[in-house]
Amino acid sequence: MIQVSELEFSYGSLDFQLRVPELAINRGEKVAIVGPSGLGKSTLLKLLSGILVPQHGTIRMGEVELEHFSDAARRRFRASKIGLVFQELELIEYLSVRENILLPYLIHGFSKKRTEIQGSAESLAAATGLADKLTRRPDQLSQGERQRVAICRAMITQPEYLLVDEPTGSLDSRAASEVLKLLFDQAERNKTTMLMVTHDSSILDHFDRTVDLAELQIADTSLEVK
């Protein structure tokens, strides 16, 4: 489902280089990405989503090699196939919570009946404790509530891939447990392939396997992670 080979990426003037000789993720797998801060975990998710393009190597998402797509084609692929939750959240401040959750459809059109999609948005909001906040704007929410809005937005399209960066960092233990359950239930129900960057070792047992990015970085031969 995801195949990375001889991947190299750097930010130019910054003293940073990400190198992943080989990484294979099977369809429907739930994988935790771990490693020290500054190693490139968030950068890897941005490469897998097509937000960034590697200087060398290939990234195959299903049958698609993202590095050969135009920027517009990568955006279309991302909107239709990938659910993203990054630390920056990137909520639209002048839109309501409901509109932020529905944003993929507002931008790219409603492929299903509006009533069905709006019902899905309300169900996700209820499951994450946002049912009474659908008309609020992001600046009227706590950081934890904003994070839950971003998670709902990532799941509204029932994507083939969920790429999630520290989704519970701003949540208390109870809310974190509920959000994780929602993410895993979504992945299981839709056979979604999920990669999650996390520093929380207490949740690693929930994943099919864990990939330590530090080990990939120092590999000097091709390595398929088992």
| Banded model confidence at residue 226, pLDDT cuts 50, 70, 90 | very low
Which domain range does residue 80 map to? 2-217
User: Would residue 60 count as lying in a domain?
Assistant: yes
Domain contains 224? no
Q: For residue 119, tell me if it sits in a domain.
A: yes
Average pLDDT over residues 66-72: 86
For residue 170, being part of any structural domain is answered with yes
Among 83-87, 96-100, 131-135, 159-163, the least confident range: 83-87
pTM (predicted TM-score): 0.86
Q: What is the mean pLDDT of residues 210-219?
A: 83
Following DSSP, what letter does each residue of the chain receive, concatenated? -EEEEEEEEE-TTSS-EEEEEEEEE-TT-EEEEE--TTSSHHHHHHHHTTSS--SEEEEEETTEEGGGS-HHHHHHHHHHHEEEE-TT----TTS-HHHHHTHHHHHH--SS-HHHHHHHHHHHHHHTT-GGGTTS-GGGS-HHHHHHHHHHHHHTT--SEEEEESTTTTS-HHHHHHHHHHHHHHHHHTT-EEEEE---GGGGGGSSEEEEHHHHHT--S-----
pLDDT mean over 90-104: 92
Higher local confidence (pLDDT), 220 or 33 = 33
For the chain, what is the mean pLDDT? 86
